[in-house]
Structure 1
Amino acid sequence: MAHPKRKTSKARKNKRRAHQSLKDVTLAECSNCGALHRYHHVCMECGHYRGQQVVFKSE
């Protein structure tokens, strides 16, 4: 079984994990109501996606 000869330093460990941070969410404006929603997701305010009503909200 593999066994490390030397302890991995905190700096080396953190450099390896530098690309694993969370990215910002990209938001788009709904063409129907103008609310912000995530790209490729249904608008939670009105239920529209790409100009079509896909979720019917009961009010």
Structure 2
Amino acid sequence: MAVPKSKVTRMKRGFRRSADALKQSVYVEDKDSGELRRPHHIDLKTGMYRGRQILEQKD
């Protein structure tokens, strides 16, 4: 008969169950380029973030 080797604490059980609550990533359409990007992230195509040029533009 299968018997657990040790008790799983409430904290460890909660850590395991919290992965079930993860949601799919959210993407927003960039105002300038129209590309999809993550909120609060740099637009990798144009290299812009909050109206400023952060990275060099990809070709």
Identify whether the pair has TM-score above 0.5, normalized to the shorter chain: yes
Change in CA separation of 1:52 and 1:31 when aligned onto 2, cut-off 3 Å: farther
Given the two structures, how large is their TM-score scaled by the length of structure 2? Answer: 0.59
Is there any run of 5+ residues in structure 1 with no aligned partner, and where?
1-5, 9-15
Runs of 4+ in 1 over 3 A off after TM superposition: none
**Unmatched 5+ stretches in structure 2:** 6-12
**Structure 1 position 35, deviation (Å):** 0.2
Q: Percent identity?
A: 32
- CA distance in 1 between counterparts of 2:58 and 2:19 reads 40
Would you say how many aligned residue pairs link Structure 1 and Structure 2? 47
Equivalence for 2:8? none
